[in-house]
């Protein structure tokens, strides 16, 4: 099917300071006007039925303008990682300091990263990814063994939309940014993906496997909902 025939996009602007651009997305599937703001890029999208007149869309946006502005302000801003940056590592706040030698060392509330300045960001990222791989591997091994189900490859990604995924072949992907989250949150995601080795869906049966591996996971799930997006605000 030609996708152009089922949806179309158009850019409109809300005047004011700052001016806000809104993507109007017309689609046969839209039954009503629905507004959303992507937390990562701050992109404002209004989905609307094909037949909806532009004037109606515009008056809807003007009515919602205070809400849009309020939510755009609340977005996490991008943080370029450098000396002095505060970031989360295993759920605790660390401040990046420049050090000597070759190793990145977490020390009380400081993360000592070897210089020069120009290498701080990339060295921090290499360190976090390495720690992520070790922690995610150990935790996935633990839960997969508890279920008696082997898994295939473990791959780290930097996906915005999901913290982990498990393919039907049993390969598991994780966002390496999980190493910034508290360890129990990382463990919950591993239990969740391991449970997919048994149930490839999100049925009640699946959730009972998760519950068996990781009882009372609500708090960890909620942590990701509330704080997860902020982990993506760090730019390396
Ligand atoms: Zn899942």
Helix (H, G, I), strand (E, B) or coil at 184: helix
How high is the pLDDT of residue 6?
59
Q: How far is the centre of ligand 1, averaged over its atoms, from the C-alpha of 169 (Å)?
A: 15
pLDDT digits (tens, 9 = 90+) for 156-180: 999 887 999 999 999 999 999 999 9
pLDDT digits (tens, 9 = 90+) for 204-218: 999 999 999 999 999
Q: Which residues pair with 37 in a beta bridge?
A: 44
Question: Is residue 170 within 8 Å of 197, Cβ to Cβ?
Answer: yes
Q: How far is the centre of ligand 1, averaged over its atoms, from the C-alpha of 164 (Å)?
A: 7
Q: What is the mean pLDDT of the chain?
A: 92
Q: How far is the centre of ligand 1, averaged over its atoms, from the C-alpha of 196 (Å)?
A: 7
Q: How far is the centre of ligand 1, averaged over its atoms, from the C-alpha of 90 (Å)?
A: 22
* In the block, residue with structure tokens 């970031």: 87
List, in order of start, the domains of the chain with CATH numbers.
3-73 (no CATH), 124-235 (3.30.2010.10)
The tokens for 151 are: 């898994």
pTM of the model: 0.74
The tokens for 182 are: 């508290």
- What does the alpha-carbon distance between residue 196 and residue 210 come to, in Å, rounded to a whole number? 9
Q: Which of 193, 197, 213 lies closest to 146 in space, CA to CA?
A: 213
- What does the alpha-carbon distance between residue 177 and residue 160 come to, in Å, rounded to a whole number? 10
Residues shown for the chain = 236
pLDDT digits (tens, 9 = 90+) for 6-32: 578 888 888 887 888 899 999 988 999
Q: Which residues contact 227 (CB under 8 A, 6 or more apart)?
A: 181
Question: Is residue 151 within 8 Å of 172, Cβ to Cβ?
Answer: yes
Q: How far is the centre of ligand 1, averaged over its atoms, from the C-alpha of 57 (Å)?
A: 35
Q: How far is the centre of ligand 1, averaged over its atoms, from the C-alpha of 153 (Å)?
A: 17
- What does the alpha-carbon distance between residue 204 and residue 173 come to, in Å, rounded to a whole number? 23
Q: How far is the centre of ligand 1, averaged over its atoms, from the C-alpha of 216 (Å)?
A: 16
The tokens for 50 are: 């094909």
Q: How far is the centre of ligand 1, averaged over its atoms, from the C-alpha of 165 (Å)?
A: 6
Q: How far is the centre of ligand 1, averaged over its atoms, from the C-alpha of 199 (Å)?
A: 9
Region of residue 86 (left: phi > 0; alpha: psi -120 to 50; beta: else): beta
- What does the alpha-carbon distance between residue 112 and residue 176 come to, in Å, rounded to a whole number? 20
- What does the alpha-carbon distance between residue 144 and residue 141 come to, in Å, rounded to a whole number? 5
Within 10 Å of residue 109's Cβ, how many Cβ atoms?
A: 11
The tokens for 64 are: 């919602």
What are residue 126's phi and psi, to 5 degrees? -60, -45
- What does the alpha-carbon distance between residue 179 and residue 134 come to, in Å, rounded to a whole number? 10
Q: What percent of the chain has pLDDT over 70?
A: 97
């Amino acid at each position: 099917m030609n996708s152009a025939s089922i949806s179309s996009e158009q850019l409109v602007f809300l005047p004011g300071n700052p001016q806000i651009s809104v993507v109007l997305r017309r689609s046969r599937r839209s039954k009503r006007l629905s507004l959303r703001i992507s937390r990562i890029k701050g992109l404002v999208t209004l989905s609307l039925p094909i037949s909806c007149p532009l004037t109606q869309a515009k008056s809807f946006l003007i009515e919602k303008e205070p809400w849009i502005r309020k939510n755009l302000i609340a977005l996490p801003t991008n943080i370029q990682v450098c000396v002095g940056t505060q970031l989360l590592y295993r759920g605790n706040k660390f401040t990046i300091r420049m050090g000597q030698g070759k190793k990145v060392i977490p020390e009380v509330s400081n993360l000592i990263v070897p210089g020069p300045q120009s290498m701080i960001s990339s060295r921090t990222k290499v360190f976090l990814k390495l720690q992520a791989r070790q922690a995610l591997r150990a935790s996935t091994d633990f839960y997969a063994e508890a279920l008696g189900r082997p898994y295939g490859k473990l791959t780290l990604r930097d996906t915005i939309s999901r913290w982990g995924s498990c393919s039907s072949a049993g390969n598991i992907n994780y966002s390496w940014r999980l190493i910034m989250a508290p360890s129990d949150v990382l463990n919950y995601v591993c239990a969740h993906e391991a449970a997919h080795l048994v149930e490839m869906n999100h049925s009640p049966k699946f959730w009972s496997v998760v519950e068996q591996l990781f009882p009372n996971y609500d708090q960890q799930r909620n942590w990701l909902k509330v704080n997860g997006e902020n982990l993506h605000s760090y730019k390396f």
